[in-house]
Amino acid sequence: MFHGNKKKEDKKPLTEEEIQKIEVTLHKIKTIQKEILDRRDMNDLDEKNLDFLFKASSIMPDFYTLWNYRKSIILELGKNKTEQEFKNFIKNEINQISQIQKGNPKSYVIWHHRVWLLKLSSLIEKQNKTPLNESLLISEIKNVNFFLDKDDRNFHVWNHRLTIFNMIRENFEENFAEFIKKELEFTLVMIKKNCSNFSA
Q: CA separation (Å) from 194 to 54, 151, 189?
A: 35, 11, 9
Q: What is the predicted pLDDT for the residue at 116?
A: 97
Q: What is the predicted pLDDT for the residue at 5?
A: 54
Alpha carbons 103 and 125: distance in angstroms, whole number: 31
Alpha carbons 147 and 158: distance in angstroms, whole number: 10
The string of pLDDT tens digits covering residues 136-148 is 999 998 888 888 8
Q: What is the predicted pLDDT for the residue at 3?
A: 47
List of the chain residues with pLDDT < 50: 1-3
Cα torsion angle, 148, 68, 56, 28, sign = negative
Q: What is the pTM of this model?
A: 0.85
